[in-house]
A and B are shown apart, each in its own frame.
Chain A
Amino acid sequence: MDDVVQWLSENWGWVAAIVVGILVVAAALNLLPDARIPTSPDFPTSGDEARDLAVGAIQIVTSEGKWNDPESHTIRDSKGLRSRLVSMWGLTDRESWLETLEELPQRRTDSLRDSLLELRAELARTSGRRPSQREWLAAAKERGASGRDVKSVINAVTEIEKSLKKSALRTVVLPAGATIESVRGYAQGQQIALATWGVALGFATREDIRPVLRQVSAEARRDFGSWEEFGRSYLLGRVMRLVEQGMPVEKAIEKNDDGIRAYGQLFDAKRGNSGPWSTLPW
């Protein structure tokens, strides 16, 4: 012990320098503003079109695009991104793109998951709070739904929601009192992004996709009451999709980190709520 004290007193300059260095790095990391949501300077950030595009913002930015770009230039200008998109989504021609766009809401439905979320929404409306996992399971059993599939959906949703309780850039995705009633927001967000990708791939023009953007955006507004509600639905749907494709829940949650970050950036609470989901009206 004496040796350590003696060494510290002889080398106090170095020790102080290291401590100060660590403090400076930590302070800089904390004080530096986080990156803003990727935004294109060539397209408006307000108005009807921007408001419609904002519905697809998480999907667009997590696919390396700019949220307000209806022509998806990032994808149009990158051969790698284009070929990845084509192979992932099977977008080989205009017909396949239109078919995917139209069928997306149906492809993102899952009878058991949707019915269980519907049941929980009912329970939440009755009790005025989000039911616990146990209450949800018991209510499902009461309705005649039991077995490993029911349990695994309820467990997965509960686990995912735990991960949504954390704060993303000073914005909590899922506050304690909120209940996610459906995952329809996920298909809607994807539809908006997919429409802009169709422009990037040369299957349509910016004008062609305007009615699609307007319609999907109107549906989202009918289904949800705020950007927060919509965003939560999108994120839960996004992770559930990975789980339904066979990914373990914890891995799917890890993969959603970029989605949670985009959610925070879209509100941008750190800069006084300057993100599009804060400035654009729902």
Chain B
Amino acid sequence: MEHPALVMRSWSRFIRSQGLSGSGFLAFVGGAVFAAAVVAVAWVVVPLLLPSQELLIRAIGVPLLLAGLVLSLALTLRSMRRGVLLQSWARHRGLGYVHQHRATRNSPWSGAPFPRTGGYVVRHHLIGDGFESARFRSVPDGRGYHSAGLVDSFTFVRFDLPTFVPHLVVTGNRRSVLRAAGLAIGSGRKLGGSIEFDSVFTLHCPADYERDALYIFTPDLLALLIDHAPGCDLELVDNSAYLYFSREPKIWNERVADDLLAVVDRLRRKLERQTRSYADGTREREVGAGASSSSASAAASGVSLGGLRLASKTSTRGRAVALAVWMPGFAVIAVVVAQALGWISL
């Protein structure tokens, strides 16, 4: 049990560094004042206007309203507490921390599930040297543009790779974070990483990059993924690696956060070893053949154009959700039109 003075100092530091709004403090205080006002009005004013319903309002309406407001305040307080714990943990490990951030512009990450239009919200954003982790949710931007309204939120960990590599994605066969988020890889080749892991993973790579993919995703790397990050998808794009989780790990728990950091460190070291000496043979052949010799330094990546990006599309789940969302609207329009044309009468 931490000393109350230390707890107070952590909370104070959290609110000062994250700001009144970013920390959730404003929402909590504003919510408490609003709740008190609403309950007071419901207790005093409404029975005056509806005297016959006084008993019902005071016995059921007000307690229900109170319960909802208290629950909402409790959730805000819980979120703030998690932020205090995470910030304190991050500070001791030399990491930066942003509790929550809403942006009306496109996300700066190049991974496949990040929408290219619309805004986004990240929370629990940890930032280190060549490493970051956050919970991501896409939202419409200021102009209402939104390319990924159906994409579920997900947690990602991004870390640097020592060199540029082709676009490679490893998705789980049983549960895929990307699929659940509404995304499917729509181009390239699907490979079995190795015979024993074929049933667990699908490895996606650009056409003509099958050997490169197997060079990087060796069976021991896939075994590492099974042992330490089960249920996660892994994506390599340019000189970054993204590890995706559908459910947020409870990183406000110090032990879980340390475990996550250890897993990322292990995966990072393994991927560094696998990619450090990677060279794109296709690119070398192109330059050797003089296809782009005069501007060979233009593409700093050293990866041929065909290897840079896999195309993605909406997954079956994403399409099903879209259909479910739009179906009632279409049904109403169809009924209205049919009635107007006299085909049906309601």
Which residues from chain A sit less than 8 Å from chain B, CB to CB? 106, 109, 111-112, 114-119, 121-122, 125, 140, 143-150, 152, 181-182, 184, 245-248
Query: Would B295 and A182 count as touching, CB distance under 8 A?
Result: yes
A115 & B301 in contact (Cβ 8 Å cutoff):
yes
Across the two chains, which residue of chain A brings its CB closest to B239?
A111
Q: B116–A152 contact, CB under 8 A?
A: yes
In the complex formed, the residue of B with least CB distance to A152 is B116
Beyond A114-B301, A146-B187, A181-B295, whether A246 also contacts B306 by CB under 8 A is: no
Q: Which of B141, B143, B298, B310 lies in contact with A147, CB distance below 8 A?
A: B310
Task: List 30 A-B pairs, Cβ < 8 Å.
Answer: A106-B300, A109-B301, A111-B301, A112-B238, A112-B308, A114-B298, A115-B303, A115-B305, A118-B292, A118-B295, A118-B299, A143-B304, A143-B306, A144-B307, A145-B306, A147-B187, A147-B311, A148-B116, A148-B311, A149-B110, A150-B309, A181-B298, A182-B295, A182-B298, A184-B298, A245-B105, A246-B106, A247-B105, A248-B141, A248-B143
Q: Quick one: which of B285-334 are within 8 Å of A by CB?
A: 291-292, 294-295, 298-301, 303-312
* CB <8 Å contact, A119 and B311: no
Residue in B closest to A112 when the chains form the complex, CB atoms: B308
Smallest beta-carbon distance B300→chain A, Å:
4
| Nearest chain B CB to A221 CB, angstrom units | 15
A213 to nearest B CB, angstroms?
21
The answer to whether A109 and B311 have CB atoms under 8 Å apart is no
Complex: A245 Cα to B164 Cα, angstroms:
20
Within 8 Å of chain A (Cβ to Cβ): is B108?
Answer: yes
Which of chain B's residues have a CB closer than 8 A to the CB of A140? Answer: 305
A182 to B297, CA, bound (A): 10
> Is there contact, CB below 8 Å, between B299 and A114?
yes
Expressed in whole angstroms, the Cα–Cα distance for A146 and B294 within the complex equals 24
CA distance A202 to B234 in the complex (A): 45
- Chain B facing A: main interface SS: loop
Contact B208 A144 (CB under 8 A): yes
Task: List 9 extra interface pairs beyond A114-B301, A115-B308, CB under 8 A.
Answer: A109-B300, A112-B238, A114-B298, A115-B304, A125-B294, A146-B187, A246-B106, A246-B107, A247-B105
Partner of A121, one of B186, B208, B295: B295
Q: Is B231 an interface residue (CB 8 A)?
A: no
Nearest-CB residue, chain A, relative to B302: A111
In the complex, are the beta carbons of A144 and B305 less than 8 A apart?
yes
Residues of the A chain whose Cβ atoms lie less than 8 Å from the Cβ of B300: 106, 109, 111, 114
Nearest CB in chain A: distance from B242 CB, A: 14
The answer, among B107, B108, B116, B311, for a CB contact under 8 Å with A146, is B311
Chain A residues with CB under 8 Å of B172's CB are none
Instruction: For the complex formed, measure the closest distance between the CB of A233 and the CB atoms of chain B, giving whole angstroms.
Output: 11
With a CB–CB cut-off of 8 A, which chain A residues contact B186? 147
CB contact between A245 and one of B108, B117, B143 (< 8 Å): that residue: B108
B206 touches A (CB below 8 Å): yes
Q: Which residues of A have CB within 8 Å of B117? A: 248
| Cβ contact within 8 Å between B305 and A119 | yes
A117 nearest CB neighbor, chain B only: B298
Contact A111 B298 (CB under 8 A): no
- Residue from B106, B208, B291, B305 in contact with A116 in the complex, judged by beta carbons closer than 8 Å: B305
Would B295 and A112 count as touching, CB distance under 8 A? no
Of the residues A111, A118, A143, A182, contact of B164 by C-beta under 8 Å: A111
Q: Mark B267-299, 1 if CB is under 8 A from A, else 0.
A: 000000000000000000000000110110011
CB pair A144–B207 under 8 Å, yes or no, is yes
- Cβ–Cβ < 8 Å partners of B304 in chain A: 115, 143-144
CB of B95 within 8 Å of the partner chain = no
- Residues of B77-104 at the interface with A, using a CB-CB cut-off of 8 Å, are 103
Tell me the complex Cα distance, A152–B114, Å.
14
C-alpha spacing A152/B116, complex, angstroms: 9
Q: How far is the CB of A159 from chain B (nearest CB, A)?
A: 14
Contact A115 B298 (CB under 8 A): yes
Report which residue of B164, B294, B308 has the largest number of chain A beta carbons within 10 angstroms of its beta carbon: B308
Chain A residues in 8 Å Cβ range of B312: 147-148
Q: Which chain B residues lie closer than 8 Å to A121 at the CB level?
A: 292, 295, 298
Give B107's nearest chain A residue, CB to CB: A246
CA distance A245 to B105 in the complex (A): 8
Give the CA-CA distance A122 to B186 in the complex, in Å: 28
B143 CB contacts on chain A under 8 angstroms: 248
Residues of A within 8 A of B298 (CB): 114-115, 117-118, 121, 181-182, 184
Q: How far does the alpha carbon of A115 sit from the alpha carbon of B143 in the complex, in Å?
A: 31
How far apart sit A247 and B294, CA to CA, in the bound complex (Å)?
A: 32
Return A82 CB to nearest CB of chain B, in Å: 24
CA distance A147 to B306 in the complex (A): 11
Q: A149-B116, A149-B309 are in contact. Are A115 and B105 (CB under 8 A)?
A: no
A215 to B295 alpha-carbon distance, docked (Å): 19
Q: Most chain-B Cβ atoms within 10 A of its Cβ — which of A111, A147, A148, A248? A: A111
